[in-house]
Structure formats: C-alpha cells, structure tokens
Structure 1
Amino acid sequence: MKIEIITIDFWNTLFNSDSGELRNSTRSKVLIDTLKDMQVNVELDLFDTVMKKSWKYYNEQWLHELRTPTATEIINYLWDEMNLLRNEQAIQYVIEFFENSILYFPPTLQQNALSVIQQLSCKYKLAIISDTGFSPGRVMSQLMENIGIKKYFSAFSYSDETGVAKPHPLAFTTILHQLHCSPENALHIGDIERTDIMGAKAVGMYAIRYDGDVDSATIAAKPQESKADFIANDWNEIATYLNC
C-alpha cells in the first residue's frame, strides 16, 4: 500500500478517557449550582433521570441518525425535560462550561502517541476525523494547540462541523477532498469497529483499529474479528507496522 495521508480518531485513540468521569461529574455540579442560583431546586432523582435521558437521546442520534448533538442542543433538551423557565444567560453559561470542560480537565495522550505522531508527520500528512460530544471541534483543536500537538496535523473533520458522524462517508471524504488524496492512498486509525473501521473501509481507505485504551467504555464491546488491516494495542505497534 502507498499511503500519503493518515487520519486519526481523537477520543480513545489519540487521547484517552481517563478524566471523563471527572468532567461529567463537574458538568452536572455546574448545572445544579446554576439552577440553585436561579432559586430552582431540582430533586436529585429527577436530575439523574433527566441526565440519563439526555445520554440516551445523544446515543440514539449518534447511532441511528449518524449525527452528534451539540452541547447547545443537549442543554436545551435538559432544560425542556425539567420544565425550567428560560434564562438565556444561565443557559449560555452552562453550555460554555460543558463545551470547555476538556480544557479545564484535559484528557491525556495515549502512551507513546506523541513520539509516534512526530515520526508519522515526517512521512505523511496527518488529519483528525472525530465525532464530538459536549466539546465541539474548535475546543478539541484548542486542546491540541495547548499541548503542542496541533502543529503536526494538516486538516480536521469534526462531526459538529460536517453535520455527520462516522461511519457516514462525508466524515472521511471531507479530509480526502481537503488534502487531495485518493482513498486507496489513505489510512485511518480509530478504536471503534462500527464507526472508524467500517466507515474507513466503506470509502476505500485502509484502517488500523487501536485497542490500547483499556479504560474505554467501548473496549468490552469490540468484536474479536475485525475488518481492519491491522490491530494495535500500542502506538509503537502502529509505528512498526508503518515502518517508522
């Protein structure tokens, strides 16, 4: 295979999920504190129920509609589910905190990812293809800028910007078009078989499945068989596979 570009998933591939619980618990606390400031007392049982409904809503949209609801959509969904009076200033405050929380409690790079990214950038053009959650693509890129890794990447495809989630072809072809590359000369690295691997293979790209994030909620659901061209448990294995 003659590879010209390598696209990489953000969550659980380039970055790990080790601070996810802290981010989500802090988001919930900020929302509750904001409601208290509005003199609104929400029962914790109701709050927990509504939060679970919001995650269910997000996953339904992600899995079946191939899109990722934004923080704005989710916060407005929560507001409506709790039958709260509209307070645009409070809503905007909560939205911005939800979006920026990965900057306050940043995830860390996967082990050996930085050194391998540096090696790969000397041989290939690199790009990010990632679905987004509460934090939009612009904030994810800001995190990459903050830790000094964004400079190694030439293009970005985020679901909140393209309007589609993987495995939708547009998530992948957006980068192929930006970097003027044919799919047979491109390789994608990601952790989810359904979205990353099947999506990349469907448009004609090569694919590596990354199984190195042992804390990922998706690790137990990964099928033993894969359509990937290679399965890696560490970024150094990816470097070896690509002769870097």
Structure 2
Amino acid sequence: MSDLSELFIASIAQVLNRTKIPCILWGHPLLNVHGVPSIVGSIDFVVPDDHLEAGAKALAQIQSLKPCLDQEVCPTSSLMRPTPPPAFHLHIDASEVTVALYLQSKTLWFLPPLDSSLSPPWRLKLPQHLVLASDQTVLPPQRPGRGSGFFKSDQPPVLVPQSHVLLEAFLRLRARDLGERMGSLAMPMIAYMWEYVDDDGFLDTSQIPEPLRSSYQELKEGKKPVRQWSMELKEALEISDEQQ
C-alpha cells in the first residue's frame, strides 16, 4: 500500500471512531499489515452488528465515497463473488476500490463483542487480541516481497487483530464454512499466514487456543489429506452441519 492509501485507511477508521463506532481492519489491507503481499481492492472494517447502520451513515458523509448505483450488477455485492459480500459498501470516487463494512458475527464472532470502550482506540490498554496498526513491536516492517507492514505512527490509530487471532479466524472459518465459498477461501488464507507470517517469525503459535493449535501443527506436517484434516478440525470444534 502507498502512503496515501495508508493515510486514507486511517482516515476511514477515524471517521468511524469519531462517531463512537469501534472498528477493526479486515480483508486484504489487514493481510498487508501482517506482511502478506496482497492487492487491495477494498478497504474493509469489521464493526459490531448493532453499529452497522450508524457506520453506514458515518461513511456516507465522506465526500470521496459514493453509493453503489446498482447492487445487482456490482461485483462487490454480487452473490457470485468468491467470498460473501459485505454488509455495506461504498465506492471511492474515480477508483475501482471500495470501502466496506463486515459484521463481527460473520468474521470475528469468537472474540469478545466490540464495544465503545475501543473507540477511540488510543486508550492506554487494549485487549490482548488487538494492537494498533502502528505497533512496531509485534507487526513486521515493509520488506521486499512482503506486504506493507506496520503503519506510520503519526497516522490516526487503526485497530488490527494480532497475527495469531487472524490465523484463528481463518481456521475457524475453514471449519464453520466447510464446503462453502468462505471455507474454500480460508485455506489459501491459512497458507499465506503460514508462509509469510509464521515462517517469518511474526506469529506466536503458542497463543492459538486448542484444539486449533494442534490442528494447525498437523496441517503444517502435511501427514493428512486436506479434506480429512478439515473434517477433523470441524469435529474438534464440535461444529454440526446445522450450525453452518
């Protein structure tokens, strides 16, 4: 990401925070922050389910963001897209990039509910599962062949999940949505976290809760077919077909 896009992402978070809407960076911008090289086609944030309407109204006040003119043909809202569409999105004027909001219940449902205590996010103490995007103590710097890394410290604060939490999300999504589009997408995301974050020393696997930690280790050992591994992960998390 360029300096301009980093600043723009931070400004979006600032708008949401000013209206007391806690938000966490999500999607491809978040992968970049954790060192995964990824093309950013949408600037995504996770918000509490009951803050979606307020978040949509706040973003609609940004002059450079325009409403979707035809959601039936828009790739962002299309039911044919490879991942579930966001709960709300706007288009950046004169750009193909969108700004989108996702619900916590669909993305980071296993974390404590996001509440107003996270807005503003420059509070002195954050929950252990969250850090600022500018935190150089846990996030990687920009490196050749990798993502953008941590944000500049002079930008408005942006909350991101720690790397082990992001991996946990992908593992849980793989199990929860096995056989569906999101479950299929979760596998390459897990592989990216393994290759670009774990192998580079920016992921503490000891913080991943069981049975996810053992399951992830089994995947890395490659002793089981991915399908079998996925089914066993689903069973270990006690996810029934009715819960999908």
TM-score, with length taken from structure 2: 0.30
Task: Point out the structure with the larger helix share.
Answer: 1
Rg: which structure is higher?
1
TM-score, with length taken from structure 1: 0.30
